[in-house]
Structure 1
């Protein structure tokens, strides 16, 4: 089995509040780039420059592998024409973006907005779906990766399905060194957003990304991890303590939501406005998704229950604690 070197971090700028994004170069049998930054001239120039510093050009990359489909991770995939592009099968719909999928997103987020108690002007994800992909690439995946696979050309790197921040989110584990390329699963400065996505088919149950994210964190906590290479920020070496902190802080936030509900009942929007008074104006969708995630968690531990009243969901604290 061909041994590969440690992942080399390449830092690319983004126009987003999260700041720079990290992509990773793995040398070996196949020169591999994990993630591809955002689709801007600044990110392209930074990628080319940092590859040149290592003696490479864009055309030297044999394959690009995506941790997930968000635009700051897949934006520059179109640069790699004729090269392999691998990721989870679920990411394909976000790269191809056919009319059926775009219509399904509009329909789904319109329905979810109503359930959240959100007025029409807040329905960004429903009213302007195309804006979500301004900085995304559109090269389709040439192959799919799933749990237990190996990175082609790097058989010492295993694929782990770590859903939550996105459906189809992948991490890549190097057991010998205890290294994980973790995308946006675990970040040092912030907790990843539990972003809501439409089910793969109409009629399927809604995803519960906060619960998925918690399970993914608990799953990697069981591995021998010496370092996590995250999608944003510095490398993480105190892995277990950070996971414990993230899970504890999420529980505490959920308990705060429970206190906000109090003896009455609340819609998702009403709680989001109280939790994130600034973010709800800047990016209402993310604030709403985060709030919904906390409510899903509270419901899973039987601290709250919901009822549907004329298409709007109302949450109240359970009385059988």
Structure 2
């Protein structure tokens, strides 16, 4: 087995009496997207800041390794292996996009010729060539975000931390950013993503951890997490009251809505269970006017694991 790109055990951080991270474990395989979900204040950004050497963990935290380097004893090697795109853009609006790129090349101590080559390649890759000579203050939100990530890639990092990278972007810009992230991973880069957009995690992440009150409540692939939450059902709607009553008599274990003339039947959404429902309706000579299947999504997972009335619980690690 190859070593994980990011590994942390017992990661802790408190501010005053408040434990922001209360002993979390992380293991992110190289060349994958790992998404950390959680409500505001759950500790997502704090985790990114610690793993990227911007903030020190509390004394007594377990071992933390990033890019194969021990964060406590060799933080400079960690910094050389990573790139960070924070919630707020690092783009300088007073200079051009190209000048922002060349500034990053200087900060990485690239020779002048090499810096210009890298800047030109990244500006082309991120479709910013036409705007390269314009002040970054004139860029749209999506363009600034693309430039921000392009600047992060100047040092060819193996691991990139993206802290809520699409916040405030319109749907088209968000999808463009997803395409960029997929391209990074296909090239072998590891992406550690924090986001409040559950669709984003569902679309991009190989593995997802849900952070709640400083602890990881559950971890797994999107499909594994969805299976943790009950609530899947088949919904049948009728327009004729007599047909509705006949269906209710034929189908046991349903939840009735006599006003809307709908029946809700618990289901895991599988073809087998759906066929069983249809067979029972056929046997009763009943036909529904509308049939819909609902399976739990990441929204359901998020609300179930981070709701205000849900007590903190031991981590469920789905394998």
> Do the structures match in fold with TM over 0.5?
no
Q: Which has the larger radius of gyration?
A: 2
Q: Which has the higher strand share?
A: 2
Query: TM-score normalized by structure 2?
Result: 0.29
* Larger RCO (CA under 8 A, 6+ residues apart): 2
